[in-house]
Amino acid sequence: MANTAAEDAANAPYVRFTDVQKTYDGEKLVVRDLNLDIKKGEFLTMLGPSGSGKTTTLLMLAGFEVPTQGDIILGDQSLKNMPPHKRDIGMVFQNYALFPHMTVEENCAFPLDVRKVGKAEIQTRVKRALDMVQLGGYGKRRPGQLSGGQQQRVAVARALVFNPKLVLMDEPLGALDRQLREQMQLEIKHLHERLGITVVYVTHDQGEALTMSNRIAVFNDGEVQQLATPDTLYEEPQNSFVAQFIGENNKLRGTVRSLNGTICEVDVEGGGAVRALAVRIGGVGSATLLSLRPERVKINPPSGSVPNVFPAKVEELIYLGDHIRTRVSVCGHDDFVVKVPNAEGRVPFQPGSAITIGWKVEDCRALDVL
Amino acid sequence: MVSTAVPAGGLIEGSAVLKSHLRRAERTRKLRAVGLVLPLFLFIMVSFIIPIGVMLFQSIYDPDIRTLMPNTAAALDTWDGADLPDETVFAALVQDLAAAQKEKKAALIGRRLNYEMSGLRSELVKSGKAAMTMTAGPYKDQMIAVAPIWGDRATWAVIKRAARTYTPYYYLSSFDFEYTADNDVVAVPEGQAVYKAVFVRTLGISLLVTALTLVLGFPVAYLLATQPPRIANLLLILVLLPFWTSLLVRTTAWVVLLQTQGPINDLLMLTGLVDERVQLIFTRFGTIAAMTHIQLPFTLLPIYSVMKTISPSHMRAARSLGANSFYAFARVYFPQTLPGVAAGCLLTFILCLGYYITPALVGGPTDQLISTYIALFTNSTVNWGMGSALGTILLASTLVLYFVYNRLVGIDRMRLT
Ligand SMILES: Nc1ncnc2c1ncn2[C@@H]1O[C@H](COP(=O)(O)OP(=O)(O)OP(=O)(O)O)[C@@H](O)[C@H]1O
Ligand SMILES: [Mg+2]
């Protein structure tokens, strides 16, 4: 069955980075060979450690930095040589960048003033935008008279009020405390869902990325390590960096002993052989890093239920309410963490207890060595 | 009643109790603030406020004639000014002059009267000597014989006016007004008027220099504020360099530069821009060039320090919201620099009003500013009254300008963050 035209349009990239490179000093590539497609109406988050090139990528999109190579397309237009003010991209900055000498209303009216929108329409649109972020009564105040969270809302309203083609947000919640941050995350997410806007969001907080995004691009060292939906990213990390950057992760070093289709057998450094999914390894004999989520490890599994079973010694118990974080030593690694759900009341072991632990083949991924 | 309505552990919002709590909390803060400024306040009191008070007083206080010629002053109190005074006044005059001559103070009387009618000084010295030798009346004719001025009604009008302990005379002179023999206030004849032109010139040159420093300084401040720190620091040192040399040295440097045989003229000749050497020093141009150079950092630095605080993300935000660079600068950047512009311009303008050395060294001899005249009266001619009156007018006009300016620009309302 042929795709309809509408489906084609929905799947066509709205923003496309093609082989984009960026260097500031002519020596180090801050962004290397970036190829990235963003769909219309998507909430895409760029997640990565500090200095990985997220802001640089965003600034190239907004037009404040020029790619040293490659091209960026927005809609059906190349952004090459297009100055920032012609791009029709709303941007929210980490420090809000509200104009201190203008009232909240004037701030929000600014993009409309620039576009020579009529007085009456400006008023209704500004009012609607402020109501949208629940700041209807604050129009006459100056930014200095608002709290951090309120300022951030004004910045969001200002970036949305002119119906931009694209909204960019660079760590907009970085300066807020945790509770407010979580509240704002949901507010922004709901705004996105309601208005159907396309958002490119930058953060280095993985919780934030998982909460808000349709897709997440994990950046490291100027490269996209993996671009996927939040659950795929968590469940199926494609390399060790992603596995360790997103969520908690147990690492076991080893060498590939045998390879059979998607399943491989790995000799762990401290002793023991593990059967794992071969995701990103070299041939037989190559080094690998096994990756295993702490909540996928079973304690004292019934015999025969899982293929990987090892004796372990409990080193430490940390009570965290909903689960008990248990550190054990296994296969010569003593930093192996198991999350034991707090469902059965008391756990049946103490530090020093000898137990067995086990896990399924598909929960253990053999990845590259960092 | 209020206290009974207060719930346990809390106060009712808007109640008087809450207000008094606030006042009490504020009081310690205020006391501490007072303690912190007190030493400076005392210092300013002694070194600034009191001298200014004395200056204000000096400009209207004029006791010389009343104390040096007590009898004449008293006798003149009843004189109607219509005709020459009668014999009793002349007798008192002779008595006073003889006494003054004995104490060698006749010249002081002459100096004071000379302010209002030139030529009186020498006549008084002569009359003083003659008065010593006079033994018997009638004195009227004897005195007129010694010096014809005593037969002139105008002389007596001057003495009667000068005999007042408090006088508006110095202020009238400062605005180029004078008295006639009939005590009418009239404007000084065109050719003799001085001070109005001096005030206008002082204001005009100060305004021009302020405008020039702003035009020259603003772009440099912008450059300083937007360059990476390494370049900005170097540039800042260049801007500050003149600050490290004294005003006198900088002015002297301009003397060297502006001379008819100086480097600027050399350059003009060399490039063929002029055929013969131009007069640069001792002209209005010299004054303005030197003052602009010296004042530049004063205008520039407040602007720079305000610009430093303007986040570059503001311009980016404006651009991303659709403003072109010019519009973003005009609507977002420039308004935020206004507190700095206001502070810098005000500083330069007020300093310019008081310029003294620079116009004296490089300006034209007939093109001096008000300070030159104040210095002249206080240092050379020891006419404290005139010096104080001119100084007071300068002070008052500066204050008036400050308040008008504040109304227009609103320095108070804008915070220097
Ligand atoms: N204007 C600049 N000039 C030179 N180097 C720069 C400039 N801006 C960024 N860099 C460098 O480029 C690299 C990537 O910076 P970028 O700001 O894109 O990182 P980021 O992923 O946004 O980090 P963070 O999470 O800390 O904001 C860093 O090594 C940084 O030092
Ligand atoms: Mg960044």
A95 membership: H or E segment, kind and range? none
Backbone angles phi, psi at B42, to 5 degrees: -60, -45
- Are B205 and B118 found together in one domain? no
Q: Which of B296, B205, B188 is nearest to B242 (CA)?
A: B296
Task: Convert the pLDDT of each residue in A56-76 to its tens digit.
Answer: 999 999 999 999 999 999 988
Q: Which residue(s) pair with A227 in the sheet? A: A217
Q: pLDDT tens for residues B218-239?
A: 999 999 999 888 999 998 898 8
Query: From CA B368, how far away is CA B358, in angstroms rounded?
Result: 10
Considering only CA atoms, which of A284, A354, A349 is closest in space to residue A317?
A349
Query: For residue A185, how far is its CA from the centre of ligand 1 (angstroms)?
Result: 24
Read off φ and ψ for residue A330, nearest 5 degrees.
-145, 140
B3 pLDDT band, cuts 50/70/90, is very low
Residue B2 has pLDDT above 50, yes or no: no
What CATH number did the domain enclosing B263 receive? 1.10.3720.10
Regarding the beta carbon of A99 and ligand 1, being less than 6 Å apart is answered no
Q: What percent of chain A has pLDDT over 90?
A: 71
Same domain, A30 and A131: yes
DSSP symbol at B27: H
pLDDT band (50, 70, 90) for residue B364: confident
Residues B274 and B400 in one domain: yes
CA distance A226 to A219: 8
Q: Which of A97, A101, A111 sits opposite B313 (nearest CB)?
A: A97
Q: Residue B309: closest CA among chain A residues belongs to which residue? A: A100
Q: Is the pLDDT of residue B30 over 50?
A: yes
Average pLDDT of span B35-45: 93
> Mutating which of B311, B321, B324, B409 best tests the A interface, going by the most A Cβ atoms within 10 A?
B321
Is ligand 1 within 6 A of the CB of residue A148?
no
Return d(Cα B136, Cα B124) in angstroms, integer.
Answer: 20
Does residue B285 share a domain with residue B388? yes
Q: A153 CB less than 6 Å from ligand 1?
A: no
| Shared domain check, A191 and A92 | yes
If you measure from the C-alpha of residue A223 to the centroid of ligand 2, how many angstroms do you get, rounded to a whole number?
15
Is pLDDT at B107 greater than 50 in this prediction? yes
Average pLDDT of chain B is 88
A162–B321 C-beta distance less than 8 A: yes
Residue ending a domain, among A240, A261, A285, is A240
ipTM over 0.85: no
Q: What span, in angstroms and rounded, lies between the C-alpha atoms of A244 and A233?
A: 11
User: Which residue in the set A91, A97, A101 is minimally distant from B336, CB to CB?
Assistant: A101
The counts of H helices and E strands in chain B are 22, 2
pLDDT per residue over B116-129, tens digit each?
Answer: 888 888 888 888 88
- Structural domain including B246 reads 195-413
pLDDT of B416 above 50: no
The pLDDT of residue B71: 92
- Predicted pLDDT at A60: 95
Verify that B128 and B268 share a domain, yes or no. no
Structural domain including A254 reads 248-367
B190 located within any domain = no
Q: Above 50 in pLDDT, residue A202?
A: yes
Q: Are residues A153 and A272 in the same domain?
A: no
pLDDT in tens, A172-192: 998 888 888 899 899 999 999
Q: What are the φ and ψ backbone dihedral angles of A264, each rounded to 5 degrees?
A: -135, 160
Among B145, B164, B183, where does a domain finish?
B164
- Please list, in sequence order, all residues whose beta carbon lies within 8 angstroms of the beta carbon of residue A125, skipping any fewer than 6 positions away: A112, A117, A161
Task: With a cut of 80, say whether residue B402 has pLDDT above it.
Answer: yes
**Mutation target vs A (from B310, B311, B320; most A CBs, 10 A cutoff):** B320
Mutation test of the interface with chain B: which of A64, A82, A86, A94, choosing the one with the most B Cβ atoms within 10 A?
A64
CATH number at residue A353: 2.40.50.140
Helices (H), chain A: 5-11, 54-62, 104-114, 119-132, 148-160, 178-195, 206-212, 230-235, 240-245
Distances (CA, A) of B343 to A119, B211, B302, B411: 35, 13, 6, 7
- What does the pLDDT look like over B285-336, one tens digit per residue? 999 999 999 999 999 999 999 999 999 899 999 999 999 999 999 999 999 9
Q: Which residues of A touch B314 (CB under 8 A)?
A: 97, 99
Indicate whether A76 and A197 sit together in one domain.
yes
Last residue of a domain, one of B164, B187, B214: B164
In a domain, B19, yes or no: no
Contact A111 B331 (CB under 8 A): no
Q: What is the pLDDT of residues B269-278, one digit of tens each?
A: 999 888 888 8
Distance CA B287, CA A269 (A): 86
Please tell me whether residues A262 and A227 are part of one structural domain. Answer: no
Same domain, A24 and A66: yes
Pair (B270, B407) in one structural domain: yes
- Angle, vertex CA A174, rays to CA A168 and CA A176, nearest 5: 120
Same domain, B270 and B383: yes
Give the DSSP letter of residue A302: P
Q: What is the pLDDT of residue B1?
A: 41
Same domain, yes or no, for A184 and A279?
A: no
Residues B217, B150, single domain; the answer is: no
Strand partners for A355? A312
- In three-state secondary structure terms, A366 is strand
Residue B151: CB partners within 8 Å, gap ≥ 6?
Answer: B84, B144
Number of domains chain A contains = 2
Tell me, yes or no, whether B140 lies in a domain. yes
The answer to whether residues B149 and B246 belong to one domain is no
In a shared domain, residues B248 and B146:
no
Q: What is the mean pLDDT of chain A?
A: 90
Give the bridge partners for A337, in sequence order. Answer: A327
Residue A76's pLDDT is: 87
Measure A262 CA to ligand 1 centroid, in angstroms: 39
Last residue of a domain, which of A202, A218, A240? A240
Residue B323 has its nearest CB partner, among A63, A85, A159, at A85
Query: Could you list which residues have their CB under 5 Å from ion ligand 2?
Result: A 55
Percent of chain B scored above 90 by pLDDT? Answer: 43
Average pLDDT on B155-161 reads 90
**B123, B206: one domain:** no
Give pLDDT, residue B17: 84
How high is the pLDDT of residue A99? Answer: 94
Kindly state whether residues B262 and B131 are assigned to the same domain.
no
Residues A165, A195 within the same domain: yes
Q: Could you tell me the pLDDT band of residue A232, with boundaries at 50, 70 and 90?
A: very high
Ligand 1, pocket-test mutation among A55, A58, A201, A206, most atoms within 8 A of CB: A55
Per-residue pLDDT of B127-142, as tens digits, reads 888 888 888 878 888 8
3-state SS string for B338-400: HHHHHHHHHHHHHHHHCCCHHHHHHCCCCCCCHHHHHHHHHHHCCCHHHHHHHHHHHHHHHHH
Q: What is the per-residue pLDDT across B41-63, written as a single tens digit (0 to 9) for each?
A: 999 999 999 999 998 999 999 99
Specify the pLDDT at position B4: 47
User: What pLDDT, in 10s, does the model give residues B183-226?
Assistant: 888 898 888 888 999 999 999 999 999 999 999 999 999 999 99
Boundary (domain end) residue, out of A207, A222, A240: A240
Chain A residues in contact with B313 by the CB 8 A cut-off are 93, 95, 97
In terms of domains, do B320 and B393 share one? Answer: yes
Please tell me the predicted confidence (pLDDT) of residue B302: 92
Number of domains in chain B: 2
B412: pLDDT confidence band, cut at 50, 70 and 90?
A: low
